[in-house]
Structure 1
Amino acid sequence: MDFDLATVQSQLENWRDQIWLWMQTPSFLAQLSAIVLSILIAPLLAKILQRAIPFFKKEPAESVKYLKVRQILFKVGGLLRAVLLVLLLGLSSNILLAVPAFSEDWLVKLAQSLAAVFLVYRVIKVFLQEAFYRKLALWVLVPLSLIIVLGYFDEFKALLSGTVLLPMGNSPITAMTVVKLVVFGFLFFWVGNLSNVKGQSAIRSQENLDAGVREIVAKLFQIVLFAIIFFLVVGAAGIPLSGLVVVFSALGLGIGFGLQPIAANFISGLIILFDRSVKIGDYVNMEGDRFGRVKAINIRSTTVATADGKDIIVPNTKFTEDAYENWTHDNPLQRYEVDFGVAYDTDLDALVPLIRDAVLEHEDVLSDPDVPSVEFRSFGDSAINMCVEFWAEGIDDGPNKFTSDVGMIIWRTLKANNIEIPFPQRVVKNIK
């Protein structure tokens, strides 16, 4: 179709003439004045209400009662301007219709419809804090609201329902099916995520259950919950269960190729939870000098927290396929060693009980399964190399400094008994 400049120019002139005719009618001027006054009055009334109502004045402190309700009421204060604009335009419409000299409100109704779209926009901006959900809602709900208020929703719905994407007998997959899948998927999974957090928190708070059992039940709860949500979303979108065979076939093919590592980590996570080879709180040492305490066991990976505050994200397959050390798997007791050296003229027979008794006085050093053992190791170049072996409960890391404390005890004991801790010496002779 060729672009006809004369036709466009003629249409613009017709619109100009029509607007000029409207501007000369009292009804149009009254509607325009009502719209301008509503736009000016709405923010003024909003400020007055925000100052007059305590819930809208300032954000509630964390210690107040009914914190969630107070936070919602405070956020509602940010919607007052849009809400009042819609109400004022509706009031203006009724007033104009009641006055015989005007008796028209089509322009005010159009402005009210646009104000309703603005209200939807403000609700999204105020209540959705996460950037992804906010952008998704803005790009979906605002255009949809505009289509509804302009009266094109039925035509838009018919277009989506008539666009077939995948023929499936009597229930084809249409563009409307995809829209329902996205909308219901967002709503159900958002609610499901909140339920998952609350449910797992409630399960993990059951102190009468073993920690490992709580973790297994929490993960099973998560799997069952999202499986139920998946079928609810599919049913709400109108996808027949027979059509899921095609979806699962494609999914199985994807797992066989690109998703195989994810599936392997998922199965490994279940194996870890059920065989309990690794539990929350265990101290593990893996290849590459990576060690720390297990913080969380997730579906795809396990989080290991190191002593310096870092989290190591380890794929679950590392715990089912590779070798690693679990220092606290069955028994929290650990044996530690502290090396030291004494001079060659030291009485070792007197040294052994002296160091043993001193080390045993430490509150974390255990006498069971064995008392501290002071052992001879080797004859060094300048010292007799000795060692103290002792048992303690826990890991020598973070708040526990077993070897450091025992080393300090040995040093103080040797110093108090005038036992020399030698250092390497070299004698240089000048031969002429």
Structure 2
Amino acid sequence: MDSQLYQQKLTGTLEQFSELLAQPETYAQLLLVSVIYALAYFAANRIRKLFPLLSDSEGNTAATPLKKLGGHLGSLLFPLLSITALTFAVEGSGQLLGRSWLVHIALVVALLLMVHSLIRDHVRNDFIAFVFRWIGMPLLFLHQVDLLAPIVAVLESMKITVGNIEFSAYGIARVALFGSLLFWFGRVSNSTGQEMIRRQEKLDFRTREVAAKLLEVAIFAVIGVLLLQVMGINLTALAVFGGAVGVGLGFGLQAIASNFISGIIILLDRSVSVGDFIELEDGRQGYVLELTLRSTALETFDGKIIMVPNEKFVSGTFTNWTHKNKKQRYRVDFSVAYGSDIRQLVEIIKQTVASHEQVISGDTIPIEERPDCEIDSFGDSGVNMFVEFWMEGIDDGRNRVGGDLLLMIYEAMRDNGFEIPFPQREVRILNEQNGKV
């Protein structure tokens, strides 16, 4: 009986399909769909030619974020125009031909293909792509064929109550789908917006960083509010509750809030920039690797990363070696034996230090920035001297100059007959009997 019933249903379906194929309205719909696709294709190409910003920028690594965004929109022109025209064609076909099932099928297929292309080309996260592909697309299909409402009613009936809170299968699915969509959209908007801001060469670095961080905070604040709306949470009641909780959390989050505000102040007052060499009060020092709204990362010469709370740069004292000027003055100390020709040695040491490629020297350099050798003091064993010089950057790491200069000074003194003094002591032996030596 079951096989006969199934055969009868299959025979009836085939007969209905044959009747549809025999109707002139079916071919009229097929012609209408073909014309719409052809017009949409030519219109999309024409628009891309009129507006070069919408041309495809795939493979162009030098394209700006705005150009890439325009290229993505341009690739969607054909499906968008097709979907728009098919939407009107469904109504027009129903009124003029009395039937619109074929046009409606074409509209559903176009929607699904466009969504699939968007997921494939723009969603990089595997989990979010899985949610869109296996939950979002089936829901879109059910909505287009008017089968979503009965399923929603069934899912809403599947619920549990815990006190005054109700959990339904529909609510969980809705939060999972729209939450994934919101966070994906927020991440894409944030990365695209920050890249566009950081490409604005007319703005200085600090202004770009402040704008990028404020954009990030604003985007995720809006996403949080929208997600609360999707979850069905009353924002009015939440505002009253949040005010009470905020007072309590304010004391516990003082450090976080202080570092957040300090980060904005640092970016605005231009006291610290990426690449600056910073020395803290406790002696730790390093190059500024990254500025965030919570902390600043310093990279030391031995490869360590020091995370410094931003509050330290606002309330404490620190030394920025390269804030205004990359040039720094350094000093190398040495000694020479008594009896040496100091005037001759001074000229030799000046020429020796000036010959180093990283030392600033030359007739065009101001005299106060040229290498200078002077007497520091008279020691127990010799004359203590020093040489001062200017150089670009910090005398450490890749720019280690002090050690090279000490070796060059030693070789210059040795080659010119100058001796480096050794500790000397004069011992006198007295005659104990008569007190004479």
Per the alignment, residue 270 of structure 1 pairs with 261
CA change 1:349–1:373 in 2 (3 A) is closer
CA change 1:182–1:273 in 2 (3 A) is same
Contact kept, 8 Å, 1:342 with 1:384, in 2: the verdict is yes
CA change 1:377–1:401 in 2 (3 A) is farther
Post-superposition shift, 1:131? 5.0
Per the alignment, residue 433 of structure 2 pairs with none
Post-superposition shift, 1:121? 1.4
Picking from 141, 144, 163, the partner of 1:146 is 141
CA change 1:189–1:370 in 2 (3 A) is same
Per the alignment, residue 395 of structure 1 pairs with 394
Contact kept, 8 Å, 2:256 with 2:294, in 1: the verdict is yes
Amino acid in structure 2 at the alignment position of 1:118: L
Per the alignment, residue 303 of structure 1 pairs with 297
Query: 2:129 & 2:373 partners in 1: Cα distance?
Result: 62
Query: 1:190 & 1:164 partners in 2: Cα distance?
Result: 35
Query: 2:419 & 2:74 partners in 1: Cα distance?
Result: 70
Query: 1:251 & 1:159 partners in 2: Cα distance?
Result: 40
Can you list the C-alpha shifts for 1:222-275, whole angstroms capped at 9, x where unaligned?
Answer: 48745873686379657433323335656777788xxx6x76344224235437
Contact kept, 8 Å, 1:339 with 1:387, in 2: the verdict is yes
Supply the RMSD in Å over aligned alpha carbons: 6.4
Per the alignment, residue 111 of structure 2 pairs with 116
Q: Secondary structure at the match of 1:279?
A: coil
Post-superposition shift, 1:151? 1.3
Task: Determine whether 1:363 maps to 2:360.
Answer: yes
Alignment of 1:11-410 (within 5 A): 14-23=5-14, 26-27=18-19, 59=58, 61=60, 67-68=67-68, 71-72=71-72, 75-76=75-76, 109=104, 113-114=108-109, 116-129=111-124, 131=126, 134-135=129-130, 137-138=132-133, 141-155=136-150, 178=175, 187=185, 191=189, 194-195=192-193, 198=196, 205-206=202-203, 214=207, 218=211, 221-222=214-215, 225-226=218-219, 229=222, 233=226, 239-247=234-242, 264-271=255-262, 273-274=264-265, 279-280=272-273, 281-285=275-279, 291-305=285-299, 312=305, 314-316=307-309, 319=312, 326-328=319-321, 334-338=328-332, 347-348=341-342, 350-356=344-350, 358-359=352-353, 362-363=359-360, 367=368, 371-373=372-374, 375=376, 388-392=387-391, 394-397=393-396, 400=399, 402-403=401-402, 406-407=405-406, 410=409
Amino acid in structure 1 at the alignment position of 2:360: E
Q: Secondary structure at the match of 2:278?
A: strand
Can you list the C-alpha shifts for 1:99-129, whole angstroms capped at 9, x where unaligned?
Answer: 9xxx987588557535532331122212334
Q: Secondary structure at the match of 1:367?
A: helix
Amino acid in structure 2 at the alignment position of 1:367: E
CA change 1:188–1:69 in 2 (3 A) is closer
- Number of equivalences: 385
Amino acid in structure 2 at the alignment position of 1:145: L
Q: Secondary structure at the match of 2:287?
A: strand
Post-superposition shift, 1:354? 2.8
Q: TM-score, normalised by structure 2?
A: 0.57
Amino acid in structure 1 at the alignment position of 2:298: V
Q: TM-score, normalised by structure 1?
A: 0.57
Post-superposition shift, 1:355? 1.2
Post-superposition shift, 1:303? 3.0
Contact kept, 8 Å, 1:283 with 1:292, in 2: the verdict is yes
Amino acid in structure 1 at the alignment position of 2:12: L
Query: What residue ranges of structure 1 are gaps of 5+ in the alignment?
Result: 1-8, 425-432
Query: 2:242 & 2:124 partners in 1: Cα distance?
Result: 33
Query: 1:64 & 1:223 partners in 2: Cα distance?
Result: 23
Contact kept, 8 Å, 1:284 with 1:327, in 2: the verdict is yes
Query: 2:117 & 2:194 partners in 1: Cα distance?
Result: 29
Query: 1:197 & 1:56 partners in 2: Cα distance?
Result: 20
Query: 1:190 & 1:57 partners in 2: Cα distance?
Result: 19
CA change 1:226–1:198 in 2 (3 A) is same
Can you list the C-alpha shifts for 1:371-420, whole angstroms capped at 9, x where unaligned?
Answer: 4446579889xx999654445564225775543664575367447x5347
Query: What residue ranges of structure 2 are gaps of 5+ in the alignment?
Result: 166-170, 423-437
Contact kept, 8 Å, 1:161 with 1:175, in 2: the verdict is no
Contact kept, 8 Å, 2:186 with 2:219, in 1: the verdict is no
CA change 1:15–1:263 in 2 (3 A) is farther
Query: 1:288 & 1:186 partners in 2: Cα distance?
Result: 43
